[in-house]
Structure 1
Amino acid sequence: MSRGAGGQGPGSPVEAENRTVLILGGILLLLIFLDRQASEQINLRAATPGVTQPAALIQERIQSGVEESTERLKGVKEAIRGEAEDSLKEGVNTGLEKGKHALEERLVPVKRPIDDILNSRMEDPGPAVDGSVRAEQLQEDPRVQIPPTERGYHLFFLRFDGSKSRIVRVSRSASGPVTYMDLLQALRSGPGDQETGLLTAVDRTIKIHSVEEEDGVITVDLGGGIHRMGASIIRDRVHQICFTLFQFSNIKAVRILVDGAKPDYLGTGAERLKLPEYLGYPDRKIQIYGSSS
């Protein structure tokens, strides 16, 4: 649509104001004309008795017409102003929608790596284990005795390289024997202050009800927090637990329960993972903390 003088559109508030001024000017000229006609009628009837009353009536009608026209013009002005404000609001809302759409398009490259992580699926970390292990290989006490040649134990945390996670092994010192529960609680506590760049998926929202070992199979009973987050994070969580427990040669398999029962899946909805009866040693590369590989 073309625009009028001064770059204003035909429906702009400026042109509406100009139109109102022209209408008022026309009404003013009409009133002047009527006033002159009334004056002539009054002069013609000056000698006739009772002319004062008709003249007053004419003047009253003229005044009433002026007031009525003024009210109508006010209504027209308000209507024009309301239309202009509605058009302005509509333009602002349209601009906001376009800006939101443009922002969402710019965020797609950022969201895609996160979606790739959450949409990934957990692979079976190892073959099923039947639990047939020689009795002399097992410890009766579920307490891990650190060999004299070692000065501590290992924990396994996460490091993210873009959208990919890596398992990183860190070493901790121990002044005496530790239990399997001690190891898993250390995972919940997360990396130390000096172990920068590392994270744990076995956080404090995941309760550890119990840890029991029998015939080389460790059964870990966890709280419902294990179901939190997406498939890739749940997989990392399970791998952290398995690597930490499999560092001891007497452990042959890990079995996971949730609130005392063996679930078929970990996670919920499309982000759930099938949980084997027994978990073996994860087929995954381990990075030593402080090394470049």
Structure 2
Amino acid sequence: MSSDKKKNTGLFVAVWFLLLLLLLIVFFVKKDTIAGNLQKTDFFEKVFGMTPEFVKNHKDTKLSAQEKEETFSFDLLESGKTAEQTHKNTYEEATGSESIKAVKENADVILPEDDAAAEENAFYAENALAEALKPAEKEAESGKKDAVAAEKPKESIKTPAAVQTREVSLYFVVINSDGTVSRKAVKRTLPKSDSPLTDAVNALLSGPLPDERSKNCMSLIPEGTRLLGASVKNGVATLNFSEEFEFNPVGVEGYIAQLTQLVFTATEFSTVKSVQFLIEGEKKDYLGSEGQWIGSPLARSSF
């Protein structure tokens, strides 16, 4: 019996020791919570009439999960309100009479420490600044386009003017089957100008065109002859030719033909009745060694 009592007593002591150890472990693990509860319920004051210093000086530094969530939600809400108000103020100042520089300064707000709220605040500020700068950018772009338009000269569409022409008669010669030479008139369309006589004589000096040559038209004016000047006064056309005009390889028939070609071509104009020939600006009595008279104006009746 005595041995059983000792065993029971030892077991009882062991159980109490384990409970006491467990309570100590729980106390050290949850000491902040226990101290906080003891402080809130004022347990020692009610039971013992005094509160230990460690309970009295206890500060609860940990919040419950619900309290953390409520505190975080409240901070986030406050940050959102701050960001929204900042965005509103910045936008109102940007769209008012403030300068763009002031908008940029107002948009540079202090961000809250919370990352989510900071990003939201930055988003509002960036959008507000972008909205504020849009009117200025549009105005600058419009001004640039106007300046470019003002600098660029207006190009008027010019319709090519129709080239005016006139029809003239040019006189070439034809050698007949019997060897005689006769004149032949052809119609030529030339551009209209203030010097129709000059144009007609130059066209004659250039010779017949291919279709005119196909009709046996030819010119006996010496090759290389150039017109140096032409004028009309009192019905007399004065034609000044280069020295090549003075030498005709065909002979007398050639001299007569070349003078005939020029006199008949010039007198096609109503203002010309006769032609005075000059060679290198000089008036000569005879043309070539054959002695063809050119000392006075020649008319159609001269041939």
What TM-score do the two structures reach when normalised by structure 1?
Answer: 0.43
RCO (CA 8 Å, sep 6+): is it higher in 1 or 2? 1
User: Which is higher, the Rg of structure 1 or of structure 2?
Assistant: 2
Comparing both structures, which one devotes a greater share of its residues to helix?
A: 2
